[in-house]
C-alpha cells in the first residue's frame, strides 16, 4: 500500500494536536477527510483542526487536574479533605458554564459560517450530473444523454452540481476527500456541490446502511482536465461502435440473460435493471468497485457474481468457455 | 390507610410480615425490590455477554480486509442485535436494576411504591429479551440496524419476519421500561424518609428520576413509530413509503426523538453512580451538589431538542439545522458542569484509589473524550463529513461504554458487597480495570482515525489498500483485552460472593442511607424508617447503624406491619402509612399472556394472539380482583 503524507493545515503545526494530526492525516489520503482535495472538504478541515486543538487542550487540562488530584490526595489527611474550599463553586461556574459556553458558542458560530460557504444556493452550475442510487450501484447521467455507472467523471476545478435520487432504499453519497455527504432519499431531490481541485481519482462509498452489499457500493470520482472531460463526455454519449460490436461476443450478450437487465446502446440490449454497459471498457472496476476490471475477474463476475457480491441482483450465467471468452472480449471492447 | 405512627417494631414482627417463603413459589411471585433489582442486574449482564459476543464476532470479521468469517446477512443481524441488546437489554435494565435495588434503600423506604408493577416490569423485560432472541432459533434476527430506517425495513425490502421481531420486541420491552419508570417517579417523589427533602436526596436518586422522566416522554415516539411500521408492513398503510405518499424521514424523526434522549437516559443514572461514589471515596461532601442536580435535569430537558443532529445529512433546510446545532453544542455545558464539580470534589478531597474509584476515574477520562467529540458532531459541516463513519461509532462508544458501562462496573465493586455481604477481591478488581481501560481505548480510539480516513460504519467488510487494515487489527485485539477484563470482574464477583472478605454494613464509610442496613439488607430494609436531618445522613447522624435508627432518635417502626411510609413531595413530611402488597403470581402470568400475544403477532396467527389476549384480560382481572382493603393476593 502506498502511503503519502497529506498536507497539514498551517495552523495545525503549532498546536498541541500535532501528534494526533500526523497520525490522522498521515496515511490513507485517497479516502481521507483530513487530506482534502477540493474546496468543500478543505473548508470542513478548516473547522476540524481548531476543534481538535481545543479539544486536546481541554482534555489535557481535565485529565491533568484529575491525575494531580489523585496524586495530591495521598499526602492529605481526612481532616484536610473535610474542608470546603471557597473556590469550589465559582470554579464550577467559570469553567463549566462561562468558559465552556464561550468556546461552544464560538465554534457554533464558526461552523454556521462554514455552512453558508458550503451551500451558497445562489451560485449557478455549468454542469449538472444526475446520480441515482440503486441496490448496490450508482447510475450516472449527463446532460448530453450519456449514461454511465459507478464512476463519475467531472472536470477538475469546476463546481459540478450533483442531483441525487434513489431507485429503492436510502443511500448516501460520500467521497471524503471532496467534501460532506448527503443522503439519497425516496421522494426527495437532494443536491450536492462537487469540486476537485486537481485531476485525479477520488474514492468514496455509500454511507447509509442499505442492506446486504452496503459495504460494496463504491463510487469513484474521476476528475479530468476540462478538455479531456469534454471529449470523454462526448464519447460517452455515443452508442457502441462497430469495432466493438462486430465480434462473436455481441450475439452472446444479446441472446443470453445479459440483455434482460443491461443496455448497450447500438445493440439490441436495452435492459434497465442493471448498469448501462455501453462504454464498460472505459471503466476501472466492475460490480460497483468490488473488483478491478480484469479479464479474470470479469469472467468470474459473469459466471458466479454471488461469490463476489452475495445478494447482488446479478444472477449466475452458465456459458461455454468459448462463449465466455467472446463475451469478455466484447465487454472489454466497449470503449 | 392507617394513620402515621411511630410505633416501634421488633425484627421478629417485621420478619413475620415481610419474609417470603423460600422456594420456587416465591421465586416466581416475589415483589421484593432487592430480589427484583438483582434479577435486573444479572439478566442485564447476561445480555451484556450476548451483545459482547456479537461484537467480538464482528471484530473478528473486520480484523483484516476481505475476510469471510460471517456472511453479509449474518453480519447485518449481528450489528443490529448488538445495538438493540446493548441499549434495551443491557444498559437500561442494569441501570434499572441498580435503581431498583438502591433507590428504596437510599431514600429509607421498605419497598418500591408499586411492588407488583415492579415484578411485572422485570418479567416483561425478560419476556421481551426472550422474544427478541426467539428470532435466533428461526435464523431471522432483526437485520435492518437498531435504527431500522424505512424503506429498508418495510415489507418490500425486508419481507421476512426479522423486522417484525424488532418492531414488536421494542413495543414489548417498552411496556417494561414504562412501568419501571412510573414506579421510580412515584417512589422517589412520595416514599422518601421523613426529613429527606428534595435538596437532601442523593444524586444517584436524582439520576434515576431524570432517567424515568426521560423514558416517559421519549418512549412514546418509538412505540408510535413501531406501531406505524407494523401497520405499514401488515395492513397496507403508507406512513413512510414515498410511493404511497408517505415520508421516509417521518421514521427518522420519530426514531431519533426517542433515540437521542435514549442516550441520556442511559448516561444520567450512570453519572449518578459516579456522583454516589466520588464523595464517599474522597471523604468529603460533593462540591456543587445543586449544580450537579440542575445539570442532570438540564441534560434530560435539552436532550429532547437535539434529535435532528442525527439527520444533518438528509437534506433538511439549513435554518432548522442551525437551531438543532446550537442545542447540540449547548447540551455539552451541563455535562461539563458535572465534570468540573467532580474535579473540584476530587481536588478538595482525599481520593481513595480502591477499585470502584478507579472505574470512576477511568469513566471521567473516557466520558471527557466522548464529550469532546460531541461538539464536532454538533458542527453541521463536520458532522456531514464524519456522520455514518467510524468516527461516530468511536464517539458514542466513548459516551455509552465509557459513560455508562464503566460506572456500572464501579457500581458493581461499590454495591455488590451490600448485596452479598462480601467485598470483591481488590487486586483482581484492579487487574480487571486496567485491562478494560486499555482494551477499551485500543478498541475505540482508532475508530476516530478510521472514520476520518473514510471508513463507513455498518459494512461487513472493506477493501485492501485503503490504509484501514492495521488499525482494524489493533481494534480487534483491544476488543479481546476488554472482554478479558470484563470476564475477570464476573469471575471475581462470583468467587467473592462466597469467599470474599466480609464487608460489614458499611465497608466504604458511605454517606447515604443504604449503608444503614445490614449486608445483605433484611427483607424490610429498615427496622425503623429513619428520620433524615442531613444530606449525608450517615456522616452527620451517628445514631444510624446497621439496624437503622432507634425510635428515640426519630425512627418509625410503623407498628411492624407490612407497611411503609408515604411522605410529602418537597419536604418529605410524613403523610400516611401505606400497607404494601405481598407476593403475587399475576405479574408473571400477565407477562406470559403478553408474550403469547407478541409471538402470535409475529407468526401472524390471529387464533394464537387472540387466545393470548383473552388470557391477558383474565390475568389483569386476577391482578386487580378486589380482595379487601390491602389488595393482597
Give the pLDDT band (50/70/90) at residue A19.
very low
| Pairing outcome for strands A160-166 and A171-173 | unpaired
**Are A271 and A262 in contact, with CB atoms under 8 Å apart?**
yes
Looking at CA atoms only, how far is residue B197 from chain A in angstroms? 22
Per-residue pLDDT reduced to its tens digit, B354-364? 999 999 999 99
Output the pTM of the full model. 0.94
* Model pLDDT, residue B6: 57
Give contacts of A104 with chain B, Cβ < 8 Å: 329-330, 332-333, 375
State mean pLDDT over B47-62: 98
Question: CB contact, 8 Å: A170 with chain B?
Answer: yes
**CA–CA separation, B248 and A187 (whole Å):** 8
Residues near B17 by beta carbon (within 8 Å), at least 6 away in sequence: B524, B560, B561, B562
Phi, psi dihedral angles at B520 (to 5 degrees): -70, 160
**CA–CA separation, B384 and A176 (whole Å):** 10
Asked if pLDDT for residue A13 goes beyond 60, the answer is no
Question: CB contact, 8 Å: B379 with chain A?
Answer: yes
**CA–CA separation, A76 and A302 (whole Å):** 75
Question: CB contact, 8 Å: B358 with chain A?
Answer: no
At residue A316's C-alpha, the angle toward residues A315 and A317, to 5°, is: 115
DSSP letter at B389?
A: B
Per-residue pLDDT reduced to its tens digit, A77-116? 999 999 999 999 999 999 999 999 999 999 999 999 988 7
Query: To the nearest whole percent, how much of chain B has pLDDT over 70?
Result: 98
Per-residue pLDDT reduced to its tens digit, A120-162? 656 778 899 999 999 999 999 999 999 999 999 999 999 999 9
Per-residue pLDDT reduced to its tens digit, B303-340? 999 999 999 999 998 888 999 999 999 999 999 999 99
State mean pLDDT over B178-182: 97
Asked if pLDDT for residue A16 goes beyond 90, the answer is no
DSSP letter at B507?
A: T
Closest CA to A131 of A181, A176, A179, A177: A181
Asked if pLDDT for residue A174 goes beyond 80, the answer is yes
Which CA distances in Å does B522 have to B25, B149, B426?
20, 48, 26
Q: SS3 string of B431-448? A: HHHHHHHHHHHHHHHHHH
Which CA distances in Å does B623 have to B116, B118, B441?
9, 13, 49
CB spacing of B381 vs A24 below 8 angstroms: no
CB spacing of A92 vs B333 below 8 angstroms: no
State mean pLDDT over B398-406: 97
CB spacing of B449 vs A185 below 8 angstroms: no
* Model pLDDT, residue A170: 98
State mean pLDDT over A192-212: 96
Closest CA to A216 of A137, A300, A123: A137
CB spacing of A188 vs B325 below 8 angstroms: no
Closest CA to B590 of B609, B614, B610: B614
* Model pLDDT, residue A221: 97
Looking at CA atoms only, how far is residue B155 from chain A in angstroms? 12
Number of Cβ within a 10 Å radius of residue A320: 9
Which CA distances in Å does B270 have to B49, B211, B332, B438?
19, 10, 16, 21
Which of A49, A78, A180 is the best mutation test for B, with the most CBs of B within 10 A?
A180
Per-residue pLDDT reduced to its tens digit, B492-532? 999 999 999 999 999 999 999 999 999 999 999 999 999 99
State mean pLDDT over B270-291: 97
State mean pLDDT over A263-280: 95
In what order do the strands lie in the sheet containing A127-134?
Answer: A147-149, A137-141, A127-134, A160-166, A190-194
State mean pLDDT over A161-166: 96
State mean pLDDT over B348-353: 96
Question: Which position has the higher pLDDT, B255 or A257?
Answer: B255
**Are B80 and B143 in contact, with CB atoms under 8 Å apart?**
yes
CB spacing of A311 vs B73 below 8 angstroms: yes
State mean pLDDT over B107-127: 97
CB spacing of B379 vs A34 below 8 angstroms: no
Looking at CA atoms only, how far is residue B482 from chain A in angstroms? 22
Question: CB contact, 8 Å: B159 with chain A?
Answer: no
**CA–CA separation, B445 and B286 (whole Å):** 31
**CA–CA separation, B587 and B30 (whole Å):** 10
* Model pLDDT, residue A43: 94
**CA–CA separation, B633 and B624 (whole Å):** 9
Closest CA to B514 of B482, B538, B483, B487: B538
Residue keyed to cell 394513620: B3
Give contacts of B76 with chain A, Cβ < 8 Å: 211-212
Per-residue pLDDT reduced to its tens digit, B220-249? 999 999 999 999 999 999 999 999 899 999
Q: Which of A110-124, A234-248, B62-76 has the lowest mean pLDDT?
A: A110-124
Residues near A115 by beta carbon (within 8 Å), at least 6 away in sequence: B318, B321, B322, B380, B381
Question: Which position has the higher pLDDT, B594 or B527?
Answer: B594
**CA–CA separation, B62 and A164 (whole Å):** 30
State mean pLDDT over A69-83: 92
CB spacing of A33 vs B453 below 8 angstroms: yes
State mean pLDDT over A223-232: 97
- pLDDT, mean over chain A: 90
* Model pLDDT, residue A28: 45
Number of Cβ within a 10 Å radius of residue B281: 27
**Are A133 and A166 in contact, with CB atoms under 8 Å apart?**
yes
Which CA distances in Å does B348 have to A88, A132, B351, B365, B500?
8, 61, 9, 19, 32
Closest CA to B384 of B291, B318, B330: B318
CB spacing of A170 vs B365 below 8 angstroms: no
Asked if pLDDT for residue A20 goes beyond 70, the answer is no
State mean pLDDT over B412-435: 97
Asked if pLDDT for residue B566 goes beyond 50, the answer is yes
Containing H/E element for A172? strand A171-173
Asked if pLDDT for residue B347 goes beyond 80, the answer is yes
**CA–CA separation, A150 and A175 (whole Å):** 12
B315: left (phi over 0), alpha (psi -120 to 50) or beta: left
Give contacts of B318 with chain A, Cβ < 8 Å: 115, 119
| Pairing outcome for strands A147-149 and A137-141 | antiparallel
Residues near B487 by beta carbon (within 8 Å), at least 6 away in sequence: none
Question: CB contact, 8 Å: A89 with chain B?
Answer: yes
Amino acid at each position: 500500500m502506498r502511503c503519502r503524507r497529506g498536507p497539514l493545515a498551517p495552523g495545525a503545526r503549532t498546536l498541541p494536536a500535532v501528534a494526533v494530526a500526523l497520525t490522522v492525516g498521515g496515511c490513507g489520503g485517497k479516502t481521507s477527510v483530513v487530506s482534502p482535495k477540493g474546496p468543500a472538504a478543505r473548508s470542513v478541515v478548516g473547522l476540524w483542526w481548531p476543534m481538535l486543538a481545543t479539544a486536546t487542550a481541554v482534555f489535557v487540562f481535565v485529565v491533568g487536574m484529575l491525575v494531580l488530584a489523585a496524586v495530591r490526595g495521598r499526602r492529605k489527611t481526612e481532616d484536610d479533605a473535610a474542608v470546603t474550599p471557597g473556590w469550589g463553586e465559582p470554579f464550577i461556574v467559570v469553567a463549566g458554564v462561562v468558559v465552556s459556553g464561550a468556546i461552544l458558542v464560538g465554534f457554533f458560530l464558526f461552523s454556521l459560517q462554514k455552512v453558508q460557504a458550503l451551500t451558497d444556493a445562489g451560485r449557478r452550475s455549468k454542469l449538472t450530473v444526475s446520480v441515482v442510487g440503486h441496490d448496490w450501484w450508482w447510475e450516472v447521467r449527463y446532460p448530453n444523454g450519456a449514461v454511465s455507472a459507478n464512476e463519475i467523471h467531472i472536470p477538475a476545478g469546476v463546481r459540478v452540481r450533483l442531483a441525487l435520487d434513489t431507485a429503492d432504499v436510502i443511500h448516501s453519497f460520500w467521497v471524503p476527500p471532496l467534501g460532506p455527504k448527503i443522503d439519497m432519499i425516496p421522494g426527495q431531490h437532494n443536491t450536492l456541490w462537487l469540486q476537485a481541485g486537481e485531476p485525479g481519482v477520488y474514492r468514496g462509498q455509500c454511507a447509509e446502511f442499505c442492506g446486504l452489499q452496503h459495504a460494496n457500493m463504491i463510487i469513484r470520482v474521476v476528475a479530468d482536465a476540462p478538455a479531456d472531460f469534454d471529449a470523454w463526455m462526448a464519447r460517452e454519449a455515443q452508442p457502441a461502435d462497430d469495432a466493438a460490436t462486430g465480434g462473436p461476443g455481441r450475439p452472446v450478450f444479446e441472446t443470453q440473460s445479459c440483455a434482460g437487465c443491461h443496455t448497450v446502446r447500438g445493440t439490441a440490449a436495452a435492459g434497465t435493471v442493471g448498469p448501462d454497459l455501453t462504454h464498460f471498457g472505459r471503466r476501472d472496476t466492475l460490480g460497483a468497485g468490488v473488483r478491478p476490471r480484469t479479464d479474470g475477474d470479469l469472467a468470474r463476475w459473469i459466471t458466479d457474481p454471488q461469490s463476489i457480491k452475495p445478494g447482488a441482483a446479478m444472477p449466475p450465467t452458465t456459458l461455454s468457455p468459448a462463449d465466455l471468452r467472446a463475451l469478455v472480449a466484447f465487454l472489454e471492447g466497449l470503449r | 390507610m392507617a394513620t402515621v405512627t411511630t410505633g416501634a417494631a421488633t425484627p421478629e414482627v417485621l420478619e413475620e410480615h415481610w419474609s417470603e417463603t423460600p422456594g420456587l413459589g416465591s421465586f416466581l411471585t416475589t415483589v421484593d425490590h432487592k430480589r427484583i433489582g438483582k434479577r435486573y442486574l444479572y439478566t442485564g449482564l447476561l445480555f451484556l455477554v450476548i451483545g459482547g459476543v456479537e461484537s467480538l464476532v464482528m471484530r473478528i470479521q473486520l480484523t483484516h480486509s476481505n475476510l469471510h468469517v460471517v456472511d453479509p446477512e449474518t453480519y447485518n443481524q449481528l450489528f443490529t442485535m448488538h445495538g438493540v441488546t446493548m441499549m434495551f437489554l443491557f444498559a437500561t435494565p442494569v441501570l434499572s436494576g441498580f435503581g431498583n435495588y438502591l433507590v428504596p434503600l437510599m431514600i429509607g423506604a421498605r419497598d418500591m411504591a408499586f411492588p407488583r408493577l415492579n415484578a411485572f416490569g422485570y418479567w416483561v423485560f425478560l419476556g421481551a429479551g426472550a422474544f427478541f432472541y426467539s428470532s435466533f432459533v428461526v435464523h431471522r434476527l432483526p437485520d435492518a440496524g437498531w435504527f431500522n430506517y424505512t424503506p429498508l425495513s418495510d415489507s418490500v425490502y425486508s419481507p421476512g419476519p426479522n423486522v417484525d421481531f424488532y418492531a414488536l420486541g421494542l413495543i414489548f420491552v417498552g411496556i417494561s421500561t414504562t412501568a419501571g419508570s412510573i414506579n421510580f417517579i412515584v417512589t422517589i417523589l412520595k416514599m422518601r424518609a421523613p426529613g429527606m427533602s428534595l435538596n437532601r436526596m442523593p444524586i444517584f436518586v436524582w439520576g434515576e428520576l431524570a432517567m424515568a422522566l426521560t423514558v416517559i416522554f421519549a418512549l412514546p415516539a418509538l412505540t408510535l413509530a413501531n406501531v406505524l411500521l407494523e401497520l405499514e408492513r401488515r395492513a397496507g398503510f403508507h406512513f413512510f413509503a414515498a410511493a404511497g405518499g408517505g415520508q421516509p424521514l417521518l421514521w427518522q424523526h420519530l426514531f431519533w426523538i426517542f433515540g437521542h434522549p435514549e442516550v441520556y437516559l442511559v448516561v444520567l443514572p450512570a453519572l449518578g453512580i459516579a456522583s454516589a461514589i466520588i464523595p464517599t471515596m474522597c471523604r468529603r461532601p460533593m462540591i456543587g451538589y445543586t449544580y450537579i442536580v440542575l445539570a442532570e435535569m438540564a441534560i434530560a430537558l435539552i436532550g429532547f431538542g437535539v434529535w435532528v443532529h442525527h439527520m444533518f445529512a438528509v437534506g433538511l433546510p439549513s435554518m432548522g439545522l442551525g437551531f438543532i446545532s446550537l442545542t447540540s453544542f449547548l447540551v455539552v455545558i451541563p455535562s461539563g458542569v458535572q465534570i468540573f464539580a467532580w474535579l473540584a470534589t476530587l481536588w478538595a478531597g482525599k481520593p481513595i484509589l480502591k477499585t470502584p474509584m478507579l472505574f470512576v476515574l477511568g469513566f471521567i477520562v473516557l466520558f471527557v473524550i466522548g464529550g469532546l467529540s460531541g461538539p464536532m458532531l454538533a458542527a453541521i459541516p463536520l458532522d456531514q463529513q464524519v456522520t455514518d463513519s467510524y468516527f461516530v461509532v468511536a464517539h458514542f462508544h466513548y459516551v455509552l461504554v465509557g459513560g455508562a458501562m464503566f460506572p456500572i462496573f464501579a457500581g458493581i465493586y461499590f454495591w455488590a458487597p451490600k448485596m452479598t455481604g462480601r467485598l470483591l477481591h481488590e487486586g483482581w478488581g484492579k487487574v480487571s480495570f486496567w485491562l478494560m481501560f486499555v482494551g477499551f481505548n485500543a478498541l475505540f480510539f482508532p475508530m476516530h482515525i478510521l472514520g476520518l480516513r473514510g471508513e463507513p460504519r455498518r459494512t461487513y467488510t472493506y477493501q485492501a489498500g485503503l490504509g484501514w487494515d492495521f488499525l482494524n487489527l489493533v481494534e480487534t485485539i483491544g476488543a479481546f483485552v476488554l472482554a478479558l477484563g470484563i470476564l475477570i470482574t464476573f469471575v471475581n464477583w462470583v468467587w467473592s460472593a462466597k469467599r470474599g472478605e466480609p464487608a460489614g454494613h458499611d465497608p466504604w464509610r458511605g454517606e447515604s442511607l443504604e449503608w444503614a442496613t445490614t449486608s445483605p439488607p433484611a427483607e424490610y430494609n429498615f427496622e425503623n424508617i429513619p428520620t433524615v436531618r442531613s444530606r449525608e445522613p450517615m456522616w452527620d447522624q451517628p445514631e444510624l447503624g446497621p439496624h437503622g435508627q432507634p425510635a428515640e432518635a426519630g425512627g418509625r417502626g410503623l407498628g411492624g406491619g407490612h407497611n411503609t411510609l408515604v411522605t410529602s413531595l418537597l419536604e418529605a413530611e410524613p403523610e400516611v402509612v401505606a400497607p404494601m402488597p405481598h407476593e403475587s403470581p399475576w405479574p408473571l402470568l400477565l407477562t406470559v399472556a403478553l408474550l403469547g400475544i407478541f409471538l402470535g403477532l409475529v407468526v401472524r396467527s390471529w387464533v394464537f394472539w387472540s387466545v393470548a389476549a383473552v388470557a391477558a384480560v383474565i390475568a389483569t382481572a386476577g391482578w386487580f380482583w378486589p380482595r379487601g382493603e390491602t389488595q393482597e393476593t
